[in-house]
Amino acid sequence: MPYRLGVDVGGTFTDLILVDEKSGAIHTAKVPSTPADSSIG
């Protein structure tokens, strides 16, 4: 199952996209960023 993952860490939100290269299915998520410590999420 080949997947492609993209992550954009911004100052307010972190955006994620996951693409299943076999089926073409696309999943996205948007979560709040924590600029003081990006390891939190």
Residue 41 lies in a domain: no
Question: Residue 37 has what pLDDT?
Answer: 76
pLDDT tens track of the chain, all 41 residues?
A: 799 999 998 888 999 999 999 999 999 999 998 877 777 76
Residue 25 lies in a domain: yes
How many structural domains compose the chain?
A: 1
- Distance of alpha carbon 17 from alpha carbon 7, whole angstroms: 7
- The pTM of the full predicted model, rounded to 2 decimals, is 0.74
Q: Which domain holds residue 13?
A: 3-32
DSSP letter (8 states) at residue 15: E
Residue 9 lies in a domain: yes
Residue 39 lies in a domain: no
Contact 31, 13 (CB under 8 A): yes
Name the token pair of 23.
């089926």
